[in-house]
Chain A
Amino acid sequence: MKSVMKILSRYVLSAAGVALILLIINFAVLAAWAVQNSRIEQKDYSVSQLADGLTKSGGIYKLSESARNTIEKRFQWAMLLDDNGNIIWSKNLPGDVPLKYTISDVAVFTRWYLNDYPVYVWRHMDGLFVLGKAKSSEWKYGMEVPLKVMDNIRVWIPAVLILNGAAAVLLSLLFGLRLFRSLKPLTKGIEDMAEKRPVKLSTRGLLGDLAAGINKTSAQLTKQEAALNKRDNARTAWIAGVSHDIRTPLSIVMGYASQLEDDPNLTVSRREQAGIIRRQSERIKTLVSDLNLASKLEYDMQPLRKNTISLPALLRSVAACFLNGGLSDGYSIDVTIGENAQTAFLFGDEELIRRAVSNLIANSIRHNPDGCAVKVTLEKSLGNCTLAVSDDGTGFTQEMLKNLNHPIGSGGLQNHGLGLTIVRQIIKAHAGTSEFHNLPEGGCRVVLCLPVSGNC
């Protein structure tokens, strides 16, 4: 809606601008034309010059060559009246022009026409020089403007401009409102479309084609959205179904393997083999629930039970859990909490964050069978905390690094590193970032950046 208001105001402003610019251009052109015209007149046939071209020598009037040419080219005729109203000299005088004039005659033709001939006069040393043009060749009226008006010109020109501008704004506003009204449903439709709501606009009116286009796009989007949802749901449901169905047979395998493991009638090696079956079954169990969790996290179907959790306490507890679980010699876990990170609280799902950190430590342990030193550090900066888990073991393969840092497509469930994929997804679900590096001195480092909820 804001954008439509913007369009409208722009439209009104530009319309007013156009009107004003047009007005100014017109004024300018008019002025230029007037100046130009008067200049031509002055240059080519000033009446005074022609009058001066008529000289008297020895009782005979003589017209100069140039004056004669001008009269013949531009005018039709000329005459000289003495102070009594008699013609004392003439040239090409038409027959319907009287030869004697009274003062009132002179006054009339000076102002308007002489027998419909437009005439111009100039004072000659012997009387009045009259220059005539062909009938109906010139429009001739005097203009009189009160002095007061001319004095106020500085006021009324801007006033006219402002009035014009206001009129232009008003008119464009009226027309713009019509446009605005027809645009309104369209913008509403586009907003709805962005919110993934189905859109059905009326296709009548000025912008009907546009509305029809929006309707079509919306229908297409709804269809695609439904198809995508269906596919995602199907995939998650399928994985959930498989992981559900695999549990019962796995129970039976684990149950019997466990019984065989404890059977005193079997040889030690047989019992060890049963133990291997039991342990591998437990691994399948973990894998299945990891797969289920990963698929749910991928499609945002894992509910987050968010609480304020203390990250230092969580890290210490995870490390203690690993150590209490019995870590073989050669492994060590060192937790370092930065001085400012002692109060790092996170609003998140404790189980999932615990899972993420556990997965990272477990990954270091699993991939370094000869032992390694795991370091867990927590630092806090403005609004964020950086949780890093590093080891001095073998590190990631290049392929894994690539997959982890730049997961391809939406799948993200590579055939290895499911535990790390889950870490990445959990951190993403908490609006954080995860980076996976190899250290130059050997080993790897996973850096998780999470938004913290300030000091509590």
Chain B
Amino acid sequence: MNDIFDCKLLIVDDEPELFRMVTEILRREGFKRIISASGCKEARRIFALEKPEGVILDVSLPDGDGFSLMREFRAISAVPVLFLSARDEDEDRLLGLGLGADDYITKPFLPRELTLRLCAVLNRAYFPVVLKQNAKPVFCLGETRIDLNSGAVITGKGQLTLTAKEFTLLEKLYENRGNIVTGDSLCRAAWGDDLYGYENTLMVHIRRLREKIEPEPSSPHYLLTVRGLGYKLTGVKNK
């Protein structure tokens, strides 16, 4: 197997139209080996015969339910399983994930969502990226370069170091760059507590952070205040 598109996929669904559509979506994405089953019995037979490398399972099948089918599969193989179900109850979703399913998608779904999730599951299972444990992003705000690995802020004037709290806040803002991050989530990230009582502390830390990363801390361009809600990091350029 060279890449995930070589995986043999088994789709179990009793609705032929849906099966056809899913097959088409997956083929378009690049998957070449797709087999199908319309019920538990057939799925068991094919599973034993073909030994697929990924399974997309419907929960409600005419001759049984997908949950017990998955348990059977799991008893003999560690194959990744992704549920595709019309049941959107929290109970069902939690049951499916609790049984060890790799993902649970509720119908109706967008094709892109299905392919993204499936690829993620297969990648995790067969091509786990050896993560560089400490690889943290390095990015630029205008002329300022920020390295989250070392917590260093490099400007034309020299290099500054972020304190631990400033680092946590900036990391949280960077993870949600372009979006508002509420004061509550920043507080929870930095102090593990509710915002109440920390408003001023948070404000002070943000001010200090701005002094380090903003060219003009009094009229910020990158770390913006969203009145009443929180803060937002914009203008991030990755390098």
Interface residues of A (CB under 8 A from B): 244-245, 247-256, 258-259, 278, 281-282, 285, 289, 305, 310, 312-313, 316-317, 319-320, 323-324, 334-337, 342-343
Contact = CB atoms under 8 A, between A and B. Distances in A.
A252 B18 contact: yes
B87 A244 contact: yes
B108 interface: yes
30 contacts: A244-B60, A248-B15, A248-B18, A249-B17, A251-B107, A251-B108, A252-B18, A254-B109, A256-B21, A258-B111, A258-B112, A278-B110, A281-B108, A282-B108, A285-B108, A312-B195, A313-B184, A316-B228, A316-B229, A317-B182, A319-B228, A319-B229, A320-B179, A320-B180, A323-B226, A323-B229, A324-B178, A334-B228, A335-B229, A337-B228
B198 to A, nearest CB: 11
Contacts of B182: 313, 316-317, 320
Interface residues of B, number: 36
A454 to B, nearest CB: 14
B86 to A, nearest CB: 4
A250 B22 CA distance: 13
B111 A310 contact: no
Contact of B21 (A251, A319, A320, A336): A251
Interface of B: 15, 17-18, 21-22, 24-25, 28, 60, 86-88, 90, 106-112, 178-185, 194-196, 226-230
A335 B195 CA distance: 15
Contact of A259 (B15, B25, B90, B181): B25
Interface of B is mostly: mixed
A342 B230 contact: no
Nearest to A245: B86
A316 B183 contact: yes
A350 B87 CA distance: 21
B88 A289 contact: yes
Contacts of B86: 244-245, 247-248
A323 B180 contact: yes
B195 A251 contact: no
Nearest to B19: A252
A68 to B, nearest CB: 116
Nearest to A344: B196
A334 B53 CA distance: 50
A250 B108 CA distance: 6
B194 to A, nearest CB: 6
Nearest to A289: B88
A245 B88 CA distance: 12
Given A247-B86, A324-B179, A324-B180, A255 B196 contact: no
B32 to A, nearest CB: 18
Contacts of B106: 247
B226 A313 contact: no
Nearest to A324: B179
Given A252-B17, A313-B195, A319-B229, 5 more contacts: A247-B86, A259-B25, A282-B108, A317-B185, A320-B182
A247 B184 CA distance: 36
B228 A254 contact: no
Which of A253, A282, A313, A319 neighbours the largest number of chain B CB atoms within 10 Å of its CB? A313
Which of A254, A255, A343 neighbours the largest number of chain B CB atoms within 10 Å of its CB? A255
A316 B25 contact: no
A310 B188 CA distance: 12
Which of A245, A282, A285, A289 neighbours the largest number of chain B CB atoms within 10 Å of its CB? A285
Given A248-B18, A251-B108, A254-B110, A343 B229 contact: no
A247 B226 contact: no
A253 B184 CA distance: 40
**Shortest 10 CB-CB contacts between residues of A and residues of B:** A313-B184, A247-B86, A247-B107, A320-B180, A251-B108, A324-B179, A250-B108, A251-B107, A316-B182, A335-B228
